[in-house]
Structure 1
């Protein structure tokens, strides 16, 4: 049975942990031109012209440290004018990865006895728990897409555009003014 094409990520770059050397190594993840329209559609972008990430990976036993940055050139839709405008972003990244069981234990706080449910308690000035390494593989394409999605402005505005509420028409009272008037009359 072949996998459903809709469930396959538009950008995949799997790295086997055992293939990562003990000294830092550099990896570049680039989205191929044919994947850019699908990535743009999934992220709600008008278009995506370029997506590239540069990572440095280092390994300590079964744990992996990732540092680097994602760079993207795209067009977003302005929430005020509904016009497309160009955007360039650079997202710095630092992540730790650990085998799935270790990552789950590090993320678990306040165990209520349900093994399927994980409660995560957020503490200030404390490092995030490590991301899980699934079956000895880290998919740098999935990591790149996730952090690009998180970096996008959810309410993008074209530079120089501001939202000004339309002034009320002179002969129409606001509903709150009508209610205040009724309250005073009682």
Structure 2
């Protein structure tokens, strides 16, 4: 069973013209809400995609372009809403899974070389899943509202226990009392 992602925009590899084609789309309100829930965000205000799709190595596809989004999430200090603009550049190559399985006799990875291609199942590649993945990569994991700062004394944790480093420094200096 194949599960579909909240943002789905499949394209058939066989339908891509030899010179390539530009594909643009925007997530609608339902898709943005579902993605916001998936990524544990307050809101995704916009999500716009522009990809140039070209044939690559015969039956593969090259996907290049941008994913732009505006997300809102809670500040890690105050929980106030923080707005973030995301712009991710995409430059990926894909091969059909069946072809990759045929070419797996020996795997060598060059850490300074080009990334190996990703795979897609059957004849269809989901551009929506690629876009959603790049939005997730662009989300700030620790958003902070302007001017928000954490004061341990205000939180009631500053005067109770010394830091582990202060304890180690005291031991190092020979004062264990």
TM band (smaller chain): 0.7 to 0.9
TM-score (norm 2): 0.80
Unaligned runs of 5+ in 1: 111-120
What is residue 114 of structure 2 aligned with on the other side? 127
RMSD of Structure 2 on Structure 1 (CA): 3.0
Shift of 1:185: 6.2
CA offset digits 1:7-59 (Å, max 9, x no partner): 43211111000000010210013211122111101011111111111000111
CA distance in 1, matches of 2:62, 2:162: 57
What is residue 134 of structure 2 aligned with on the other side? 147
Query: How many residues of Structure 1 are paired with residues of Structure 2 in the alignment?
Result: 168
Unaligned runs of 5+ in 2: none
Contact conserved, 2:67 with 2:135, CA < 8 A, in 1?
yes
Matches within 5 A, 1:1-186: 7-60=3-56, 61-104=58-101, 105=103, 109=107, 123-166=110-153, 168-169=158-159, 174=162, 177=167, 180=171
Shift of 1:101: 3.4
Taking a change above 3 Å as real, the CA distance of residues 103 and 159 of structure 1, as seen in their structure-2 partners, is farther
Taking a change above 3 Å as real, the CA distance of residues 108 and 158 of structure 1, as seen in their structure-2 partners, is farther
